[in-house]
Structure 1
Amino acid sequence: MLTFLVVSAAVFLCPLAICSPCIANNLPPKPALVGHRGAPMLAPENTMLSFRKSMECGVVAFETDVQLSKDMKPFLMHDNGPSFLLRTTDVKEKFLGRDADMHANFTLQELQTLNAGEWFVRTDPFQSVSSLSKEEKREANNQTVPSLSELLVMAKKHNVSLIFDLKNEKNSTGFHNSDSYYTAETIEKSGISPDKIWWLPPEYRHDVRKVTPGLKQVYNNVQEMYADGGSFLNMKYSFLSTHEISELRKNNVSVNLWVVNERWLFSLLWCSGASSVTTNACHILKSMSKPDWHLEPNMYMGIWISADVISLLLMFGLFLWQRRRNHVFHQNTSERSVPLLPR
């Protein structure tokens, strides 16, 4: 009985130990959406169709990956190193024997002859191709490798921001031979408003500031951000606790978290006050009008106390019923066991 009472008390009181940002009176604004390589569940990643699809979700920024071609033109491609084209293009058929080449072995013109969408329709990586119309499948099947300039034109036209990784920056020797230099130069020539560029690559950050002032500087390290006087953080969602996110937002730091695809995770980060999230599933998250698990403290307390009271009453009722049942059982047993006296 003592063990039972201890365990029951622990169960009844355990909500006191639950601390969730989703138990609150005031709900922060819904985090903005950033399209991770566009909308890769709906179209081939890092293609113009993918970025157009992400705009249908109302994204505030495109997230992409930038590399330099042989003729020093920035283009969009996530995979890097040897065979970087193999997963998402038909390089094996178009350039026989060159499928293991590096990014610097292809000109932009050569890259743009490749099909960058057929793989998506064929492999269906997110089991989402069936949701596309025949026209959308046909369009997805004929995508090419975009240049950074093409995406900048789209971003400028639709007033969308841009954040990107530079995949081969660590291999450069000096700023003027680096991906940062040619990328910053391309951004400058595009005429896009500098504050629409969320500059993430850290290697030549201060040199880039001189070439293209006004860029929104984004950091992937809290200490580096504070040391540089920054106020914009871009990190994996699991690297920050909900409390840390809330504290950063109180200090007017913008917090973008990647890659967030599930409703429950988006709900938790929403309650924590995240500014924005990078997602593959913008079409799912855009429809959410509130977090899935938000409760006001009074409502939470009411549910908890009501559940405890009902449970206690049920337990007490079962205890009395079982006690009465045992009493009747023993009484009947006693009556049957009394020996009959001879007449």
Structure 2
Amino acid sequence: MVTHAKLQYYRHNYGLVCITGLLGCRWHRYKQSLRDNRKRDFCVFGFMSLTFLFLTFLLYVILISRNDFDDFNWFMYNFLDGWAPYFIILLSVICVLFTYLAILMLLSLCHIIHGHQLYVHPVHVVFIFICLGCCIAGTIGYSKLWATEWFLIWLSLKAIGPFLQIGCVILMTMVSYIIIGQWFTLSKWYLQMFWLCVYLSVMVGLYISPLFIDSPCVVATSKLPPKPHIIGHRGASGIAPENTMISFEVAEQNGVLGFETDVRISFDGVPFLLHDKTFERTTNIANVFPDLIETEASMFNISQIKELDAGSWFIEDNPMMTLGSVPQERRKLYAQQKVPTLLELLKFVNKTGMVIMFDYFNPPKSNPYYSDMGPIHNAIHESGIDPKKVWWLLSDADIVMSERYTPVVREYLPPDVLREKHINHINIEFSSISLEQIREYWSHNISTNVYNVNTGWFLSLLWCVGTYSVSSDNCHTLSHLENPIWTLLPRNYLILWVTVDVLSAIVIVVIFIVRRIHKQGTKYSPESQSLNWEAQSHQVQQHRSHQRMDSYRRNKRAMKEKLLMRDVASELFDVEPEVDDLGIESNYTVQSTDGRVMAATFHQDRNGYQTSYQDPSRIHSDGIVNL
């Protein structure tokens, strides 16, 4: 049957084609589906969301851990026995995965907004599960190899807590349009009530969370402590080769309070500066003494040590990724550096009037100066430095100082205990002391030095709690920080908090009303129905299909009956048929006007009209029916 219905014209929407093509590889319009999402689609979207949130948190962890990225590089160097910017490589991989998941999430949200089926191509699903597995494995490895960084993550959350709350409220307000729209699609009232309670609980929790946020950076200007002093960790090791004289000179030029270094004793009793147990990492010992690469540094004479180049490795490896800011003249000085002795550094410190703090590494028992501190004291006396300028790190707070050095403990002790021992300085890692304990020391006029602090936000946080000094590789940047990166007056934060929460609640109510009106005013869309005919009209189409089959069977049976009646009539009435058989096939012979009437009846039935059977006696020979 031929139909003359006007064909529909569909406007090409290349944006939707790209969205469905990138997410589900449905690049043709007829593949786009407005059918309801399947359970599989919801599960895939749930895993995608979980992986995206996990990856976002992992990216945040890596960015915060940049404070100690040098430790990660050297750990990988020792593990893989080769140098590379491992931290940058790790950060790049995380950024690529985050970008990939962010694009998938954006495409999925576009599908939800436009009402398309949330179909994700199986290749994407495989990559999502791979990303989730990598995130879990990375988190486990991070916890085992770098557990102290979790405390740094906690400190960072305390620092940015107010802004994190405001950001979460704004984000949830933005996605409320999608959430409310999906809520209206729920068919069961108890599901609507359940998800409404969940959503309201989340929003109320975000609204009142500032009551539980205690950020040190929310402080009145009058109560802001003075800026912490900077102590050059192994000199200016962030921009110069560590534990070299040029490194200490660069640190002094950047206005540090003093230096922190590491001291070992040579086989012939001369204290020298070196952090590692061997010379392999920071010198060219592989070229000078290739057979002694693994030999402990304290087993060399000072004459052998002075043959080593202690600066070229920094130019070749660029371990701190800062060599680009170093002028060529200074690079030439780097290549001329030797391993300095403690006496050389003490004379420089005495000349500049700074302080010095060092870790002493006892040599092996085969060294003649094992457990002999005489060379250290001799070097201090020979330099002429004021003993009070030497911050002596104690391994036990009960040691009685025979010299008049400034004692410094390495662990947290109550202020009363420190006062009894006449100790006013503490040098401690950031993961071993809380912000409240730093505040406690500050209130008791006890100086706290925290190591290692290499980022501006971390210095700002410790600044707000009253830290006296910090050890840093990046003294060339932190020394120029005039104010904390951010501080907020308590009153201003209260105004900001209330304003954001009220505006968010108003916007959400407006969105709910708009979505409600839009839901009630939704009209039938022919284009949508044509795109989603199979999904939205499956039952109706199935019912119509059964009706068509039944109609076909009835018409077929009626056709057979009519043909049989025509043959019977041709036997009773010997009449020749006319040329027009009114729809009866030409291979059948019509011999009676009765057969013609039956054929006409059948033809009219096919066009939707009903004609009763006429008696053959009422038909003239010319085919006209007598009424």
Query: 1:67, 1:179 within 8 Å by CA — same for their partners in 2?
Result: no
**Displacement, 1:24?**
1.1
Q: Which residue of 2 aligns with 1:55?
A: 252
**Displacement, 1:170?**
8.3
Query: 2:273, 2:339 within 8 Å by CA — same for their partners in 1?
Result: yes
Write the letter of the residue equivalent to 2:407. Answer: Q
CA distance in 2, matches of 1:4, 1:79: 54
Q: Which residue of 1 aligns with 2:360?
A: 166
For the pair 1:23 / 2:213, whether they are aligned, the reply is no
Q: Which residue of 2 aligns with 1:6?
A: 201
Distance 1:110 1:31, change over 3 A: same
CA distance in 1, matches of 2:310, 2:451: 24
Quick check: 8-17 or 218-227, which moved more? 218-227
Query: Could you say what secondary structure the match of 1:114 adopts?
Result: coil
Distance 1:266 1:191, change over 3 A: same
Query: 2:411, 2:432 within 8 Å by CA — same for their partners in 1?
Result: no
Write the letter of the residue equivalent to 1:222. Answer: Y
What does residue range 306-321 of structure 1 map to in structure 2 within 5 Å? 306-321=499-514
Distance 1:325 1:95, change over 3 A: closer
Query: 1:65, 1:76 within 8 Å by CA — same for their partners in 2?
Result: yes
Write the letter of the residue equivalent to 1:282. Answer: C
Distance 1:89 1:14, change over 3 A: same
Match for residue 247 of structure 1 among 431, 437, 440: 440
Query: 1:169, 1:180 within 8 Å by CA — same for their partners in 2?
Result: no
For the pair 1:86 / 2:274, whether they are aligned, the reply is no
CA distance in 2, matches of 1:320, 1:309: 17
CA distance in 2, matches of 1:39, 1:167: 21
- Gaps of at least 5 residues in structure 1 are 331-343
**Displacement, 1:177?**
5.6
Query: 2:442, 2:466 within 8 Å by CA — same for their partners in 1?
Result: yes
Query: Could you say what secondary structure the match of 2:391 adopts?
Result: strand
**Displacement, 1:57?**
1.6
**Displacement, 1:37?**
0.4
Q: Which residue of 2 aligns with 1:334?
A: none
For the pair 1:137 / 2:331, whether they are aligned, the reply is yes
Q: Which residue of 1 aligns with 2:409?
A: 219
CA distance in 1, matches of 2:228, 2:337: 30
CA-atom RMSD in angstroms: 2.5
Q: Which residue of 2 aligns with 1:110?
A: 304
Match for residue 241 of structure 2 among 44, 64, 68: 44
> What count of residue pairs does the alignment treat as equivalent?
325
Query: Could you say what secondary structure the match of 1:222 adopts?
Result: coil
Quick check: 220-229 or 313-322, which moved more? 220-229
CA distance in 2, matches of 1:131, 1:108: 33
Query: 1:68, 1:179 within 8 Å by CA — same for their partners in 2?
Result: no
Query: Could you say what secondary structure the match of 1:230 adopts?
Result: coil
- Gaps of at least 5 residues in structure 2 are 1-195, 524-627
Q: Please, what TM-score do these two structures have when normalized by structure 2?
A: 0.49
Q: Which residue of 1 aligns with 2:230?
A: 33
CA distance in 1, matches of 2:456, 2:317: 25
Q: Which residue of 1 aligns with 2:482?
A: 289
Query: Could you say what secondary structure the match of 2:426 adopts?
Result: strand
Instruction: Answer 1 or 2: higher relative contact order, Cα 8 Å, separation at least 6.
Output: 1
Query: 1:58, 1:286 within 8 Å by CA — same for their partners in 2?
Result: yes
Write the letter of the residue equivalent to 2:308. Answer: L
CA distance in 2, matches of 1:41, 1:235: 20
Query: 1:39, 1:54 within 8 Å by CA — same for their partners in 2?
Result: yes
**Displacement, 1:17?**
1.0
Query: Could you say what secondary structure the match of 1:257 adopts?
Result: strand
Query: 2:397, 2:409 within 8 Å by CA — same for their partners in 1?
Result: no
Aligned residues: percent identity?
34
CA distance in 1, matches of 2:290, 2:398: 39
Write the letter of the residue equivalent to 1:19. Answer: D
What does residue range 201-280 of structure 1 map to in structure 2 within 5 Å? 201-202=394-395, 206=399, 209-210=401-402, 212-213=403-404, 215-223=405-413, 226=418, 228-280=421-473
**Displacement, 1:180?**
2.9
**Displacement, 1:6?**
2.2
Query: Could you say what secondary structure the match of 1:144 adopts?
Result: coil
Query: 1:88, 1:119 within 8 Å by CA — same for their partners in 2?
Result: yes
Q: Please, what TM-score do these two structures have when normalized by structure 1?
A: 0.88
Query: 1:29, 1:270 within 8 Å by CA — same for their partners in 2?
Result: yes
Distance 1:173 1:79, change over 3 A: closer
Query: Could you say what secondary structure the match of 1:165 adopts?
Result: strand
**Displacement, 1:206?**
4.0
Distance 1:230 1:122, change over 3 A: same
Q: Deviations over 1:243-283 (max 9, x none)?
A: 11111111111100001111121111111111100001111
Query: Could you say what secondary structure the match of 1:235 adopts?
Result: strand
Higher helix share: 2
Distance 1:205 1:146, change over 3 A: farther
CA distance in 1, matches of 2:465, 2:366: 39
Query: Could you say what secondary structure the match of 2:263 adopts?
Result: strand
Query: Could you say what secondary structure the match of 1:218 adopts?
Result: strand
**Displacement, 1:66?**
0.4
Q: Which residue of 2 aligns with 1:152?
A: 346
Write the letter of the residue equivalent to 2:240. Answer: A
